[in-house]
Structures are given as structure tokens and as C-alpha cells.
Structure 1
Amino acid sequence: MYKRKLFYFGLTTAFILFLALLSTAISAHLTRENLLQSNIAQSLLVEHEKLSSISYRLFKQLTDEIIFGQNANQAYVRKKQNLIQQSINQIKKLEIEQRNALGLSFTKGSVEDTDELVRLIDEITVEFRAVVSSDNKAPLNQQAQLKRLLEVTIDDQFREAINSAVARQARVVAAINAKIEMLNTTILWFAIGLGALSIPLILYGCYWLFNQLYQPLILIANATNSIALGHYQKPISVKLDDEFEELATSINQLALRLQEHEKNAIKSRKQLELEVKQRTSELTEANLLLTKTDSRRRQFIADVSHELRTPLTIIRGEAQVTLRMQSVSVDDFNQTLTSILEQAVSLSRLVDDLLLLTRAEMNQINLEVIPTKIMSLIASEVAKWQKLNPSRAITFEASTELNEQLVTIDIRRIQQVLAILCDNAIKYSKSDQPIDISLHRTDLLITIAIKDYGEGISAAEVDNIFERFVRFSKHSEGLGLGLPIAKAIIEAHDGSISVTSTQGQGSIFSISLPVGHK
């Protein structure tokens, strides 16, 4: 019911607003058209007056030629003729625009009169030239041709034509101004009438709508105050309009639910206390883990410092020993430089590893990926490691259907991962134990598995094996950066790496790469 009342009020207001906007748009359009017509008419009137002024100045200059000789004022005459031509061109252009805007009946004769003016100016100019060329020695006041030119052609015909054109254009300007004045008066009275009609209607509608809203709002305000004070037993019991009735029902239901929530508050508080205790326990465990991680970080810094100190000490020692020698041969220099180069390469590799892990944390590992035959790549790596370890059996197994399988990867980075895993498999298994490498495809993934038969990895070590800085006591070699580097490279390829291990039976490292990675 109340929705219908709002609809009627909105419809009435929208209709009044539409009328106001429509009248404003029409008024703006008509005003713009009239102003355009007025500007054209005013410009045309100014041009006619300008043409009159320039023409009379031209006639004066031509008269001076008769008095002072044919070559007098030639430059001024040409300048005035050019100005007259420009003014005539502008008048013709404006008269065409005026005729298009006002119509033929309103501007009848304007274009034709301009042609007559042009003809008269040309005729006057020719007659002046004729008088100058006649070389008449008689006094000027006795020359009939000159007298007729000045008194008849200029004073009568030209003056009448130019005055007629100016007067006609002044009438056009006056008519347009009167039209604009009439339009402004009409718009003013229309606006007054529309305001006189719409303002009372809107005021009455607002008053009516306020009365329709006031009683339900008072009831709702009282109900919310009762709920705020804790009185939940049906705070609204009066029948309202359909829309407010739904709101009243919702408020009553809200009161009942608040009552239920208060009953459950104590239970929830107790449950919250229990959860806080549990969360505190979890935070304690997390703190212990952070402490453990910080300890590993400190150990890593110590290890890195040691790893950096050793090659730097060797480099400094080699340089100092060589510099102290009284007589140094080329072989001594070569031996010293070779030792320094080896230590510098070791330092460079350590820095590269640390830089790669830092870029991985910032998601800035740059990959140069190309479609690659993965089976050929792995076979090449297996052959290389077999050649480096001739006493160990390194086998590679893959189905023939994967011969042409392409995977979009960074070849150098994947070779680095395979090198890390193969080196670990060889390092942590006995020399007579084989290394098995296999390749297979499942759905959209290519999986590379590297299995060794060494001592295996404990469950505690497996959980942390891909973390940085982790180095287990029985595996004292290295800084614990190889597997984190391998993980970072594989994840940059949108892949994954995992390990399964049984102590005493060896470990299997699995690399999964998406076939469609780009």
C-alpha cells in the first residue's frame, strides 16, 4: 500500500520535472537559434555600414586623382578596392547564412540589392577612370560627366542603394530583437506558471508523505528503544501498512533472536575462552618455530661467514706470500693466480645461489623458456653424470611415446635442478648403489623421478628438507642451499617438487612440470 503511495508521488514529481526539463531544453534551443540569427544580422549590418564608409573614402580618393593627376593615391585606391571586395564577399556570405536561417520571405531582396551595390561601385569606379582618361581641361565644375557622376550616380543612386540596404538590415535586426524579447517574455511567464502550479503540488505531496511516514517511524523508534533497553516481548503490536508490516515483523523476530543470543552469550564466552587458550598454545608453538628458524638463520650467517672467510683468507694468503717472495717465477705467478681464480669462482657461485633465492622470494626469477624435448634433455644429463661417475650405474627409463614430448622450460635452470638432485643422490649413497631416473606423464603433468638407495631421510628431516639454511648434522657438506634453489626454480615454472623417503631404503625426489607452461 505504501509502495503505491510512493509510486504516485514519484510519478507526479517526475512528470513536473520532465516538463521543466523539456521547457528548458526547448527554450535553450530557441534562444541559441535566435542569438545565432541576431549575431548574423548584427554582423551584416556592421558590414553594410563598413562598406558605405570604405566606398565613400574610395570615391574621395578617385576624386583626388581627377584633381591632382592620374597617378595620385594609386596605392590607397587599390587598398580601398581590396577592402571593398573583402567587405562585399563577407556581406554575400552573411546574407546567404541569414537567408538560410530566416527564410526567403524574411530576407527578400537582400542578396539582389547587394549585387546592385556591386554593380554601382564598379560603374562609379569605371566612370571615374573615364573622367581621368578624358584629359578634359575645362574647370571641374563645368565638366558634365563629372557633375553627373558626383550628383546623380553617387549622391542619388549609390547613397539611396546603400542607405536602403542599411535600413533594411536594421529592420531585420529590430525584428529579430523583438522576436528574442517576445521569446524571453514567453519563457518567463511559462516558468512562473509552471512554478505556480508545481510548487503547491510538491509541497502538498511532501506534507502528505510526511504524515504517512510519521506514525510508523514513531512506532519503529519506540520499538528499537525497547529492544535497546532489553524488553524483547513483541515491541510492535499495531497493524501498519504492508511494507511497514514486514519491517515490524522483522523487528519482532529480531527481538526474539536477540533474546536467544543473550542466552547463548555465556556459552559463547566460555567457548571463546577455550579457543583463546588453544590459540595461545598455537602461538606458543609458532613462536618456538620462529625461534628455531632464527637459530637456523644465525647458523646460516655463521656458515656463510665461514664460507666467505675461507676463500678470502686463501686469496689474501696467496697474494701476500707471492708478494713477499724475493724472486718469483712465471710458474709461481700462475700457481698463485690459479688458486685465487678457484676461490673467486667458489665465491661467485655462493653469491649467485644467494641472489637466486632472494629473487625467488620477490618472484623475480627471469626464465628464458623455450619448447624443449624433455626426454632428450634428461638423457643428455644422465649421460653426463654417468661419464663423471663411471663406477656407478645410473639408469634412465621412459616410454617411447615421450620421445617427442615438448615442455616449455628454461633449459639451463632445469639442468641446474637435475644437477642438484643427481649430485645429492650420488653424495648420500654408496658408490656401488645405482641411481634410477624415470620420466612419465599423467594428465597435464610431466613427472621426473630420481631415486637413490642410500640411508634415506628421517621424517623430521623430510618436513624441513626444502627450507633454506637447513643442514643436518650427518650431512655436514654444503650450506643447505641446493634443495631450496631447486624448489624455487621448479615453482617459477609453475611446477612442484616433493620427496618420499624410507630410512635404510633410499629416497625418491619427484619433479612435476606442466606440459602447457608458457
Structure 2
Amino acid sequence: MYKKKLFLFGFISAAVLVVALTSVSFSAYITKENLRQSETAQSLLSEHQKLSSISYRLFKQLTDELIFGRNANQALVRNKQKLIEESLSIIRELEVVQRNDLGPAITQGSVEDTDELEMLIDEIISEFNAIIAMNDSTPLRQQARLQRLLEFTIDNKFREAINAAVSRQSNVVSATNSRIEALNAATVWFSVILCVLVGPFIVFGCIWLFNQLYQPLTLIDSGTQIIASGNYTFRLPENLDQEFHSLVQSLNQLAGKMAEHEKQEEVMRTQLQIEVDQRTSELTEANRQLTLIDARRKQFIADISHELRTPLTVIRGEAQVTLRQNDPAMEDYRAALQTVLDQVVGLSVLVDDLLLLARAEINQLRLLVEDIDVVDVIESQLEQWQRKMPLRTFSLEKGGLQESTLSIAADEQRLRQIVTILLDNATRYSEPDSAIDVLLSATVEAIKIQVKDYGSGISPADLQYIFERFVRFKPRTDGAGLGLSIARALVEAHHGEIRAESEQGQGSVFTVVIPRQRPI
């Protein structure tokens, strides 16, 4: 309903605006044409006045030639004649334009009189030339032909002709200006009348539209304020104009949804409190884990200090004892140097392990990748450990492998180091006569190496820290606790993964998975 009212008001307003704009455009066009015609008339009047001035100057110069001789002003005469020709040419062009614009009635006689004026000027110039050519010695005052030329032809006939042309053109200019003033007056009155007629319509139309719009807007405003205050049970009436019906329905639906959201907010607040409590518990546990890690870090510092202090103490003691001897034998020197060498080698191994881990952390661990036989690497390692520990049984099981060789792209030295670390770890945490089993399997994409021992196993609380640095679950065990950390760094450098599974009293299984082809 309100849309129809608005369309009606808009259509009438647009029609009035179109009429007004059309009138203004038409008036502007007519004004432009009148101004152009007035400019043409004014220019033509100026050219007539200019022609009059040039002609009289030419006549004066011709008169001077009679007085002072034939060649007195020839250059000036020719210049004035040229200016007269140019002025007559401009006058003819402007008179044609003016006649086309204003019509023959207003410009009657202008084009024709110009031809007569040109003939009269030519006649006067010819008469001057004829008198000059006669070379009459009679005083100028007594020459009847010259007197007739000056008094009758120039003073009367030429003056009347040029004055008539100027007067006629002045009338044209006045008529054109009068038309412009009349048009301006008509435009002003038309604008006044249009404002008088349209103004009240616009005012009353706006008041009518405002009244039609104000009541529903006031009702909607008060309703939205009630809903905004928190009263989500309030509903706006839906009997307003059709244009406001969808808005009212949306506001009522919004109030209903806000009521539902208020209920959900309470539920979510309770749930959020539960989640906050849970996260707090998790943070507490994380803090406990960090405290435990910090304690282990301190323990590691103490251990590494001990690991470094012991060989250094031995080295210093051997050196001091040897130096205190008055005349030590060669065997004493050799024994001291051997002890020092053994301790330095141990220190070098520890430093190399720490350096390897540091390079792995900054992604600067370089591998010499080549195609190697995994079966050959593992078998050679097991043979070495079997000779080293004859009381144990080291076995290799090739799960589902049909080939005697298994080729992968890896660093052979680092792969041997991984296997050595896993076998060393298995022997450390199991009985001296227990077996160590190695299971080797493969797919198209990767190989899997599993090392199983039958020791006491690892508790679930300790299992998550098994690959951390300086972790040793038996304080008296040899080593700094870096082996599994190094193994993990080397496996990850091969873009693989390592994991540990253990049951207390059942032993542990360490699994290494390495891609067969190094990723590009």
C-alpha cells in the first residue's frame, strides 16, 4: 500500500521535474541562439563603424595627394583600400549570417545597400584618381569637379549611405537585445509560476508521505527499544502496511531467536565453565610436566657435569702422578698417555653427540645419501654385537621379504648408527643373557625396523619422555642419555619416524620407519 503511494508521488514529481528541465533546456537553447545573433549584430555594427572611419581617412589621404602631389601618400592609400576591401568582405559574411538567423523582414536592405556602398566608395576613389590625373593648375577652391566630389558625393551622398547602414544595424542590435530581454523576462515569470504551482504540491506531498511513514516507524522504534531492553517476549503488531510487514515479522523472529539464544547462552556459560576447569586442569598438568622436565634438565646438567668432570679428573690425576715421579719408566708414560687417550676419546664422543643434536635442531645435519642394502647393514651390526656379547642371542626376522637384498636411499653410516643405538639401548635395559630380536619388513614406500628386548620395560609415565635428551631411567647406567635423542634426530633427517612401545615386565619394542626414496 505504501509502495503505491510512494510510486504515485514519485511519478508526479518526476513528470513535473521533466517539464521543468525541458523548459529550462529550451530556454537555454533559445537564449544561446539570441546571444549568438546579438553578437553577430554587434560585430556587424562595429564593422560598419570601422568602414566609415577607414573610408574618411582614405578620402583625406586622397585629398592630401591633390594638395601635395600625386605620390605623397600612395602607400597609405593602398593600405586603406586593402582595409576597406577586408571590412566589406567581413560585412557581407556577417550580413548573410544575420539574414539567415533573423530573416529578410528584420534585415531588409542590409545586403543590397552594402553593394551600393561599395560602388559609391569605388566611384569616389575613381573620381579622386581622375582629378589627380588631370593635373589642373587651377586653385583647388575654383575646381568645380573637386567641389562637387567633396561637398555632394562625400559630405552628402556617402555620409547618408554610411549613416543609414549604421543606423539600420543599430536598430537590428536593439531589436535583438529586446528579444533577449523579453525571453529572460518570460523565463523568470515561467520559473515563478512553476514554483508557485509545484511548490505547494511538493510541500503537501512530503507532509502526506511523512504522516504515512511516521506512524509505523514510531511504532517500530518503540517496539525495537522494548526488545533491546531485554524483553524478548514482546511482539510488534503485524497489521501495518505491506512494506513494513516483512520488517515487523523479522523483528518478531529476531526477538524469538534472542530468547532462544539467551537460554542457549546459559547452557554455553555452564559448558564454558566446565571447559575452563578442564583447561585449567590441563595447564596444571602441563605445568607439572614442565616442572618435571626442568628437574630432569637440572639432573642432566648434573649428569653431564659429572660425565665431563670424571674424565677430566682422571686426565689431570694421571698427568700429576706421572709428573711427580723422579724417573718414570717408559711403561709409566705409556700407561698415563693411554689413560688420557681413553678419556679424551670418551669426551670426543660426548661432544660429537651434542654437536649432532645441535645441528639437527637448526636443520644443518648433512647426510651422504646413496643406495644401500638394509639387510646387509643390519646383519653386519648383529654379527658385531653377537661377537661382543656371546651370552645373548641376536636374531633377524625378515617379515614377508622374498628378496635377499633390500635397497633404500639413505646415509649408510647414519643408518648403522641408528641400529647401533637401538641395540645398545636394548642390551642396557635387559638381562645379560636375554635375547634381542630384530624384525625387518618393507612396503613399496618405506622400510620398517623393529628392535625388541625382553627387559623390565618402561612405565607409561616415562615412555613419553623416552626420546628426550639426557633421560636415563637407571641412574647407574653408563652413557649420558643422548642415544635415543640422536636416533630420533637421524631418523627425522631421513624424513622417517621412530616410536617406542613397552609393557612393564614384558620388554620394549622400538620401531623405525624410513622412506625407501628420499623426498625431493
Q: Is the shorter-chain TM-score for this pair beyond 0.5, marking a shared fold?
A: yes
Structure 1 segments (4+ residues) deviating >4 Å:
270-282, 430-433, 453-459, 472-477, 498-506
Counterparts of 2:19 and 2:142 in 1: how far apart (Å)? Answer: 75
Deviation at 1:108?
A: 3.1
Counterparts of 1:23 and 1:68 in 2: how far apart (Å)? Answer: 67
Calculate the TM-score normalised by the size of structure 1. Answer: 0.56
CA contact (8 A) 1:454 1:504 kept: no
CA contact (8 A) 1:117 1:161 kept: yes
- Evaluate the alpha carbon distance shift between residue 271 and residue 68 of structure 1 in structure 2; reply closer, same or farther with a 3 A threshold: farther
Counterparts of 1:138 and 1:47 in 2: how far apart (Å)? Answer: 38
- 1:34 corresponds to which residue? 34
- 2:158 corresponds to which residue? 158
Residue 517 of structure 2: which of 499, 508, 518 is its match? 508
Calculate the TM-score normalised by the size of structure 2. Answer: 0.56
- 2:107 corresponds to which residue? 107
Counterparts of 1:184 and 1:269 in 2: how far apart (Å)? Answer: 77
CA contact (8 A) 2:54 2:80 kept: yes
Q: Deviations over 1:123-151 (max 9, x none)?
A: 21121111111101112122222122212
- 2:172 corresponds to which residue? 172
Q: Greater CA radius of gyration, 1 or 2? A: 2
Unaligned runs of 5+ in 2: 291-365, 375-406, 419-445, 447-484, 499-511
- 1:442 corresponds to which residue? none
- 1:301 corresponds to which residue? none
- 1:127 corresponds to which residue? 127
Counterparts of 1:231 and 1:75 in 2: how far apart (Å)? Answer: 106
Deviation at 1:38?
A: 0.4
- Evaluate the alpha carbon distance shift between residue 500 and residue 89 of structure 1 in structure 2; reply closer, same or farther with a 3 A threshold: farther
- 2:327 corresponds to which residue? none
CA contact (8 A) 2:62 2:128 kept: yes
CA contact (8 A) 1:41 1:173 kept: yes
Counterparts of 2:488 and 2:220 in 1: how far apart (Å)? Answer: 75
Counterparts of 2:16 and 2:54 in 1: how far apart (Å)? Answer: 56
SS at match of 1:508: coil
Counterparts of 1:473 and 1:144 in 2: how far apart (Å)? Answer: 141
SS at match of 2:138: coil
- Evaluate the alpha carbon distance shift between residue 188 and residue 274 of structure 1 in structure 2; reply closer, same or farther with a 3 A threshold: farther
Counterparts of 2:58 and 2:107 in 1: how far apart (Å)? Answer: 28
Please tell me the residue identity of whatever aligns with 1:220. Answer: I
Counterparts of 2:272 and 2:175 in 1: how far apart (Å)? Answer: 88
SS at match of 2:517: strand
CA contact (8 A) 2:65 2:73 kept: yes
Deviation at 1:55?
A: 0.7
- 2:77 corresponds to which residue? 77
Counterparts of 1:500 and 1:509 in 2: how far apart (Å)? Answer: 10
CA contact (8 A) 1:45 1:166 kept: yes
Deviation at 1:74?
A: 2.5
Counterparts of 1:241 and 1:140 in 2: how far apart (Å)? Answer: 105
SS at match of 1:28: helix
Unaligned runs of 5+ in 1: 289-423, 434-449, 460-471, 478-482, 484-497, 512-518
CA contact (8 A) 1:500 1:509 kept: no
Q: Does 1:208 align with 2:149?
A: no
Identity %: 52
The root-mean-square deviation of aligned C-alpha atoms, in Å, is 3.8
Counterparts of 2:227 and 2:67 in 1: how far apart (Å)? Answer: 111
Q: Deviations over 1:353-386 (max 9, x none)?
A: xxxxxxxxxxxxxxxxxxxxxxxxxxxxxxxxxx
SS at match of 2:71: coil
Deviation at 1:473?
A: 6.4
- Evaluate the alpha carbon distance shift between residue 266 and residue 74 of structure 1 in structure 2; reply closer, same or farther with a 3 A threshold: same
Q: Does 1:267 align with 2:267?
A: yes
- Evaluate the alpha carbon distance shift between residue 172 and residue 278 of structure 1 in structure 2; reply closer, same or farther with a 3 A threshold: farther
Deviation at 1:213?
A: 1.4
Please tell me the residue identity of whatever aligns with 1:181. Answer: E
- Evaluate the alpha carbon distance shift between residue 264 and residue 157 of structure 1 in structure 2; reply closer, same or farther with a 3 A threshold: same
- Evaluate the alpha carbon distance shift between residue 154 and residue 278 of structure 1 in structure 2; reply closer, same or farther with a 3 A threshold: farther
